[in-house]
Structure 1
Amino acid sequence: MVIFIMRITWLLVASIFHAGPGGYLQYVVYIVTSLGFVRQSFDVIVDGIEQSIVEAHNNLRPGKIYVNNGDLLDAGVNRSPSAYLNNPAEERSKYQYNVDKQMTLVKFVDNEMGPVGSFNWFATHGTSMSRTNSLISGDNKGAAARFMEDWAEQNGVSKQKGHANSVDFRSLHLSSVLPRRVSTIIPEPNEITDDLMQLASSYVASGGRRLAASNITRRIRSTQENTAKFVSAFCQSNCGDVSPNVLGTFCIDTHLPCDFNHSTCNGKNELCYGRGPGYPDEFESTRIIASRQFLKAADLFNSASEEIQGKIDYRHTYLDFSQLGVSVSTSTGGQQVVKTCPAAMGFAFAAGTTDGPGAFDFKQGDDKGNPFWRLVRNLLKTPGKEQVECHAPKPILLDTGEMKEPYDWAPSILPIQIIRIGQLVILCVPGEFTTMAGRRLRDAVKNVLISGSNGEFNSNIHVVLAGLTNTYSQYVTTFEEYQIQRYEGASTLYGPHTLSAYIQEFKKLATAMVANQEVPTNIQPPDMLHKQIGLLPGVMFDTTPIGTNFGDVSSDVPANSNFRKGSTVNATFYSACPRNDLLTDGTFALVEKLNGKDWVPAYDDDDWSLQFKWSRPSKLSSKSFATLEWTIPEDAASGVYRLRHFGASKPIIGSVKHFTGASSAFAVR
Structure 2
Amino acid sequence: MGDAGWGKYEIAIRPSGYAMHGYGQITHRATSEGGPLFARSLFFRDKDGKTLIFCCLDLGYVTHAMRAGAVEQLASRMGSGFNAESFVLTCTHTHSGPGGCAHEVLYNLVTPGFQPEHLQAVVSAIVESVVQAWMTAEETELWLGSGCFDEHVPVAWNRSLRAWNRNPDVSPYREGENHKALDRRMQVLSLRRDGQVKALLSLFGVHATCLGSSLNQHNGDNKGYAAAETEARLGDGAVAIFAQAKAGDVSPHYHGPGQADRRKAIKGEAEYAYAESNGRKQSELALVIAASPAQDRINGPLDGVLTYVDFSNVHADPGFANGEPEARTSDPCHGVSFAAGTPVDGPGVAPALLPLLRLASRARRALKQGALSQRDAEERAYFRRLYRSQGPKDIFMELGRRQNGKRPRIPGFIDPLVAELNRQEKAGAIKESEMVPSVLPLQIVRLGSLALVCCPGEFTTTSGRRLIETVNTCLKGSGISQTLICTYCNEYMGYVTTYEEYQEQAYEGGHTLYGQWSLAAFQTRFAQLAAELPKAAADRNYDRATRPVPPPDHELSRRSGLPPWQ
The answer, yes or no, to whether TM exceeds 0.5 is: yes
Change beyond 3 A, Cα 1:391–1:319:
same
Q: Report matched runs for 1:4-403 at 5 Å.
A: 6=52, 8-9=83-84, 10-73=87-150, 74=153, 75-88=155-168, 90-92=169-171, 97-110=180-193, 114-153=196-235, 229-246=237-254, 248=256, 250=258, 255=261, 274=263, 281-303=270-292, 305-329=295-319, 336-353=325-342, 354-361=344-351, 369-371=358-360, 384-402=383-401, 403=403
Tell me the distance in 2 between the aligned counterparts of 1:110 and 1:330: 44
Q: Deviations over 1:238-259 (max 9, x none)?
A: 100000003646475xx4xxxx
Instruction: Report the Cα offset of residue 54 of structure 1.
Output: 1.7
Tell me the distance in 2 between the aligned counterparts of 1:276 and 1:69: 34
Equivalent residue letter for 2:300: G
SS of the residue corresponding to residue 547 of structure 2 reads coil
- Which of 493, 507, 515 is the matching residue for 2:527? 507
Q: Deviations over 1:331-373 (max 9, x none)?
A: 9x85613211111110000111120111223799x99923289
Change beyond 3 A, Cα 1:536–1:292:
same
Tell me the distance in 2 between the aligned counterparts of 1:248 and 1:139: 22
Highest CA radius of gyration, 1 or 2?
A: 1
Instruction: Report the Cα offset of residue 521 of structure 1.
Output: 2.1
SS of the residue corresponding to residue 384 of structure 1 reads helix
Change beyond 3 A, Cα 1:448–1:467:
same
Q: Deviations over 1:128-156 (max 9, x none)?
A: 00111111111000111001001111xxx
Equivalent residue letter for 2:252: P
Tell me the distance in 1 between the aligned counterparts of 2:133 and 2:521: 35
Tell me the distance in 1 between the aligned counterparts of 2:94 and 2:320: 38
SS of the residue corresponding to residue 533 of structure 2 reads helix
Unaligned runs of 5+ in 1: 154-226, 256-272, 540-618, 621-669
Instruction: Report the Cα offset of residue 511 of structure 1.
Output: 1.5
Tell me the distance in 1 between the aligned counterparts of 2:352 and 2:183: 29
Tell me the distance in 2 between the aligned counterparts of 1:232 and 1:294: 9
Equivalent residue letter for 2:187: T
Q: Report matched runs for 1:552-563 at 5 Å.
A: none
SS of the residue corresponding to residue 134 of structure 1 reads coil
Change beyond 3 A, Cα 1:78–1:41:
same
Tell me the distance in 2 between the aligned counterparts of 1:529 and 1:285: 44
Structure with bigger strand share is 1
SS of the residue corresponding to residue 315 of structure 1 reads strand
Change beyond 3 A, Cα 1:363–1:494:
farther
SS of the residue corresponding to residue 499 of structure 1 reads helix
Tell me the distance in 2 between the aligned counterparts of 1:18 and 1:276: 20
Residues 1:429 and 2:459 aligned together: no
SS of the residue corresponding to residue 358 of structure 2 reads coil
Is the Cα–Cα contact under 8 Å of residues 329 and 515 in structure 2 kept in the other structure? yes
Equivalent residue letter for 1:321: F
Change beyond 3 A, Cα 1:514–1:128:
same
Tell me the distance in 2 between the aligned counterparts of 1:72 and 1:279: 27
Of 1-10 and 144-153, deviating more is 1-10
Change beyond 3 A, Cα 1:427–1:279:
same
Tell me the distance in 1 between the aligned counterparts of 2:247 and 2:490: 17
Tell me the distance in 2 between the aligned counterparts of 1:329 and 1:523: 26
Is the Cα–Cα contact under 8 Å of residues 453 and 486 in structure 2 kept in the other structure? yes
Q: Report matched runs for 1:541-556 at 5 Å.
A: none
Unaligned runs of 5+ in 2: 1-38, 44-51, 53-81, 368-378, 405-429
Is the Cα–Cα contact under 8 Å of residues 2 and 233 in structure 1 kept in the other structure? yes
Identify the residue that residue 414 of structure 1 maps to in structure 2: 440
Equivalent residue letter for 1:413: V
Equivalent residue letter for 1:303: S
Instruction: Report the Cα offset of residue 52 of structure 1.
Output: 1.4
Instruction: Report the Cα offset of residue 80 of structure 1.
Output: 0.3
Equivalent residue letter for 1:301: A
Residues 1:526 and 2:549 aligned together: yes
Q: Report matched runs for 1:457-496 at 5 Å.
A: 457=480, 461-496=481-516
Root-mean-square deviation over aligned CA pairs: 3.2
SS of the residue corresponding to residue 488 of structure 1 reads helix
Equivalent residue letter for 2:502: Y
Q: Deviations over 1:43-88 (max 9, x none)?
A: 1101111111221221121111111011124311000001111111
Runs of 4+ in 1 over 4 A off after TM superposition: 1-5, 93-96, 273-280, 372-375, 535-539
TM-score if structure 1 supplies the norm length?
0.60
Equivalent residue letter for 1:430: P
Identify the residue that residue 206 of structure 1 maps to in structure 2: none
Tell me the distance in 2 between the aligned counterparts of 1:537 and 1:495: 33
Is the Cα–Cα contact under 8 Å of residues 3 and 11 in structure 1 kept in the other structure? no
Tell me the distance in 2 between the aligned counterparts of 1:147 and 1:477: 33
Tell me the distance in 1 between the aligned counterparts of 2:521 and 2:494: 15
Tell me the distance in 1 between the aligned counterparts of 2:492 and 2:259: 31
Tell me the distance in 1 between the aligned counterparts of 2:172 and 2:470: 18
Is the Cα–Cα contact under 8 Å of residues 158 and 251 in structure 2 kept in the other structure? yes
SS of the residue corresponding to residue 232 of structure 2 reads helix
Instruction: Report the Cα offset of residue 278 of structure 1.
Output: 8.9
Instruction: Report the Cα offset of residue 28 of structure 1.
Output: 0.8
SS of the residue corresponding to residue 241 of structure 2 reads strand
Change beyond 3 A, Cα 1:2–1:321:
farther
TM-score if structure 2 supplies the norm length?
0.71
Tell me the distance in 2 between the aligned counterparts of 1:119 and 1:276: 33
Tell me the distance in 2 between the aligned counterparts of 1:428 and 1:4: 15
How many residues end up aligned between the 2 structures?
Answer: 435
Q: Deviations over 1:583-642 (max 9, x none)?
A: xxxxxxxxxxxxxxxxxxxxxxxxxxxxxxxxxxxx98xxxxxxxxxxxxxxxxxxxxxx
